[in-house]
Structure 1
Amino acid sequence: MIEELEAGAEAGADALGPAALLASIKASRSIENTEAARQLDLAARWADLHPPESIHAAASFTVPGCEHEEPIAGPGTPLVAEFCVAELGTVLGITSVSAKKLIGHALELRHRLPRLWAQVHAGRVPAWRARAVAEATIHSTPALTVEAARFVDTQVAAVAGKIGPAQLDRLVAETIKRFDLAGQDPAADPEDGYLHVDPRHVTIHDQDVHFAGTVRLEAEVDLADGLDLQRALAHGAATQKALGSHESLDARRAKALGDLARTQTALDLHGSGLEARSARTSTTEDGSDLPTAREVVLHAHFDATLSGDTTIFGPTGRLEEGQRLLLLDQLRSWCGDSRTKITVKPVIDLNQPKAGPSYAIPDRIREHVVLRDRVCVFPWCGRPARGCDVDHVTEHDHHADAEARPQPGPTHTDNLAALCRFHHRLKTHTTWHYDMVAPGVFEWTSPHDHRYRHDRTGTTALDPPGPGQGPPRIPSPRR
């Protein structure tokens, strides 16, 4: 029946003339914009239903490279319970991070950008344009006050949201200066990725100097180079701190990048500050208190076949870091560019279950779980399993052995799963529940009885409850 309806719809579309087709797609876009605005409103209402029990439980983003967390929306917006974002994300089929952004944008628009919020719901500004403005005002550094955000709102609303990214950046910078908000530029982490064309570049926007005397740098580099640079900046920032710098982590990372261009001039601090530091640290004359540089480790997986005594690798593989496609030629070029140590590990048979005698998870079992699950097994989460916790699906009973009872939650690969720290805490402190129905196949149930299946192919929604069904269960702590 569905196939017949789809065929009928296609036949009807084919019968339309050019003018009718344009009118139809325009109407479709109007419906899309209306529904996107409605989703923003519903997301804000969902937040209203879930105030945090305390400020420590408020939802927040962990900012890469920073030593603090920031709220999901700007000053003046209500805080939101930390774990409510997960259920909203799963019903929408998006990650918890994307659900945080949706709620944050909705609260930012409703409370700090009310003119733009009204234009969105009047159909004069598409929701995606308004969300781009909200993203800029939420993550401005320094943070925009309520008055500063209202100034941006007034300027953007005057042009019905028709403002490009560059104009928006200039408007935010002008607002920071107009309201005398002292601070620094945000450290913009370049997006990485592998494209079919060569996207590598380094661009220094020296024609657009910020009022603080800084310029923006944009780059796209090889993944290996990017990881090397990340390690070098972390090492440089830590070195400056060890040498007595009291600047913020962001400032030290920015200076470390400049030091790379000037061949590590930060080492001048080592000679000038050594005597002063020796009185308060265990520094030796060789600078043994300085952090040790770390190596970059990549985990690449390639299918291989044996031809006599020769191992033949396939042309394409998978890189765990970012779950990216990896070309064998690309890996060869990385290994040939520097002194690189390559370790070939034996193949792990994922069909052979493994068990440990205690609650602690041995490395061999952890590796099995990482290779089997690949990513966090929560619905639609994509965080790499190698950086996740390994969770006992059924709680491990620490007193079972002492009381001569069977262990309900053994340390066994059939009872272990990779969960990122956020979703591990979600499972522990809320009524979210999951079971492993087959090796590497998990079925989750949300507090409102929505069900999801996660396996190596991704996430599938299972029999969602109807309207008004599935009341929340009483929380019970888990491990």
Structure 2
Amino acid sequence: MVEELAQADDAIAACADAAAWALPEHALIAALDAAHRLQQRLAAVTLTLIREVDGRGTARTHGASTTAVWLRERLRLTIPAARRLVDLATALDTGNPGIRRALADGHLSLDQARVISDTATTVQATAGTQAADKAVSLLTDWASQFDPTHLRKLGTRILDHVAPDIADAAAQAALDAEARRAARDRHLTLSEQTDGRLRLTGTLDAETATLFRAAIDPLTAPSGPDDTRPPGQRRHDALADICRLALRTTELPEHGGDPAQIVVTTSYDALTRQLGTGTLDTGLNLTPEAARRLACDATILPAVLGGAGQVLDVGRQRRLITGPLRRALVLRDRGCAFPGCDRPPRWCDAHHIHHWANGGPTSLGNAVLLCGHHHRHVHQADWVVRLGDDGHPEFIPPAWLDPEQLPRRNHYHRRT
């Protein structure tokens, strides 16, 4: 398979370098159709490989918590996109093989295959395997005429065609299935930009969307006749108000032993000069004005920095890494330090590099932040954790994974 894919890669590379402008219109359209068909057939191969990777447990042996997380690191996908591929690969492997065959033959797009798979699952649960096979056959034929959105709408009444005697009762089952899909597909992605801003993307289920609108709509109205903010900016500012209100409550759960809070780091000299520029524990630099705004409505948590910006050891000797020492650890690692993990500090445990029970000290030089999964993985696997010459964590993989055992680092949290 690897040799065949390499040959296909060479052929596609030759097409990528070809001059499309020289093609007559009929050849241009034919080439577009052929490229689209190849894309669909390659999608079938990709799903087969993903299913095998998932079935073997390859992700966990490589240190990832799930196959979706492993795919994100390996193929540079988003987690929602990777999870959808894993789900579809599983469905096509365990469900109706006709969908995978149609995709491999180039008759379906990936989105159409997902719609037909979802519909077939619903029909099988309500009308049995024979009706599901008929639904797949019918929807596959319709796929040459309808896009995925229209195909899903047709799928909601497919039982009228394949099992009319139970169509009405199954309509409710279809609505229930749609609700389950909405729950499965719900997500919120925070994409950090280079200047510290966040891009929010996601899909809310119906209930959460209702709650969100109920909370944000009263705060999005113009504050007066002089308010020139466009609607998008008013919604942004309303979300900030909601976050401030939430942080002022005492009902938010603790993370890592600390209450929900914002940590701002500044030098002692800047602090004595009425609080100059500051740095959040996410690595974002704040203007003096922003730092002063936060200081007006926050508890200031001091972290003493050395001349080279290194966080000094704080706190007394103890087994648990909490309080000032944990905050120093957060400022250094900024999240799970295991390579490829993007879990934030509040989801992480503080791990003793040299175990405390074996005489390891409770200090910054003997600690590293690890999320729950990677904390367990480091204890169970053959990874070696150490601090590099610059004082930041690095991980040496086991020889079976990397014969050269080159040290690896997490690049998701580094800002420099």
Q: Please, what TM-score do these two structures have when normalized by structure 1?
A: 0.50
For 1:424, which of 375, 379, 383 is the aligned residue? 375
2:392 is matched with 440
| Structure-2 separation of matches of 1:190 and 1:83 | 18
SS for the counterpart of 2:368 is: strand
For 2:125, which of 125, 143, 147 is the aligned residue? 147
Identity %: 20
Q: Report the Cα offset of residue 442 of structure 1.
A: 1.6
SS for the counterpart of 1:453 is: coil
Amino acid at match of 2:339: P
2:313 is matched with 354
1:18 is matched with 21
Does 1:178 find its partner at 2:149? no
For 2:301, which of 345, 348, 353 is the aligned residue? 345
CA change 1:352–1:130 in 2 (3 A) is same
Residues 131-155 of structure 1 deviation map (CA, whole Å, 9 limit, x = unaligned) = 5776x679xxxx9585359477556
Mapped contact 1:370–1:385 kept (Cα < 8 A): yes
1:24-423 alignment, distance < 5 Å:
33-50=40-57, 90-93=73-76, 101-127=84-110, 130=113, 144=122, 146-147=124-125, 150=132, 153=136, 156-160=139-143, 163-165=147-149, 168=152, 171=155, 178=170, 180-181=172-173, 185=179, 217=210, 221-222=235-236, 223-225=239-241, 227=243, 293-294=251-252, 297=260, 299=262, 301=264, 306=270, 309-313=273-277, 320=282, 341-349=297-305, 351-354=310-313, 357-394=317-354, 396=355, 398=357, 400=358, 407=359, 409-423=360-374
Q: CA RMSD in A?
A: 5.7
Mapped contact 1:119–1:160 kept (Cα < 8 A): no
1:264 is matched with none
Mapped contact 2:112–2:148 kept (Cα < 8 A): no
Q: Report the Cα offset of residue 40 of structure 1.
A: 1.4
**Unaligned stretches of 5+ residues in structure 1:** 1-9, 52-56, 58-80, 236-291, 401-406, 460-479
Amino acid at match of 1:354: D
| Structure-2 separation of matches of 1:193 and 1:430 | 31
SS for the counterpart of 1:414 is: helix
| Structure-2 separation of matches of 1:379 and 1:132 | 35
Amino acid at match of 1:443: F
**Unaligned stretches of 5+ residues in structure 2:** 1-12, 160-167, 217-234, 254-258
Amino acid at match of 1:361: I
Q: Report the Cα offset of residue 42 of structure 1.
A: 0.9
| Structure-1 separation of matches of 2:137 and 2:154 | 15
CA change 1:426–1:455 in 2 (3 A) is closer
| Structure-1 separation of matches of 2:69 and 2:55 | 15
| Structure-1 separation of matches of 2:262 and 2:350 | 18
Q: How many residues align?
A: 332
Q: Report the Cα offset of residue 446 of structure 1.
A: 5.9
1:467 is matched with none
SS for the counterpart of 1:390 is: strand
SS for the counterpart of 1:377 is: coil
Bigger proportion of residues as helix: 2
1:445-464 alignment, distance < 5 Å:
445=397, 448-450=400-402, 453-456=408-411
Q: Report the Cα offset of residue 29 of structure 1.
A: 6.3
| Structure-1 separation of matches of 2:187 and 2:86 | 23
| Structure-2 separation of matches of 1:454 and 1:172 | 48
1:238 is matched with none
| Structure-1 separation of matches of 2:301 and 2:383 | 36
Mapped contact 1:379–1:452 kept (Cα < 8 A): no
Q: Report the Cα offset of residue 86 of structure 1.
A: 6.0
| Structure-2 separation of matches of 1:392 and 1:341 | 34
Mapped contact 1:388–1:421 kept (Cα < 8 A): yes
SS for the counterpart of 2:408 is: strand
CA change 1:357–1:228 in 2 (3 A) is closer
| Structure-2 separation of matches of 1:392 and 1:306 | 33
Mapped contact 2:111–2:148 kept (Cα < 8 A): no
CA change 1:309–1:84 in 2 (3 A) is closer
| Structure-1 separation of matches of 2:412 and 2:65 | 28
SS for the counterpart of 1:376 is: coil
Residues 76-130 of structure 1 deviation map (CA, whole Å, 9 limit, x = unaligned) = xxxxx97676666544456888655543331022223533322222233333554
Q: Report the Cα offset of residue 41 of structure 1.
A: 0.8
SS for the counterpart of 1:391 is: strand
Q: Report the Cα offset of residue 32 of structure 1.
A: 5.3
Q: Report the Cα offset of residue 382 of structure 1.
A: 1.2
| Structure-2 separation of matches of 1:17 and 1:183 | 48
Residues 388-445 of structure 1 deviation map (CA, whole Å, 9 limit, x = unaligned) = 1112234x152x4xxxxxx3x4333233222211222233344455443342242352
| Structure-1 separation of matches of 2:336 and 2:140 | 41
Q: Please, what TM-score do these two structures have when normalized by structure 2?
A: 0.56
SS for the counterpart of 2:310 is: coil
Mapped contact 1:380–1:458 kept (Cα < 8 A): no
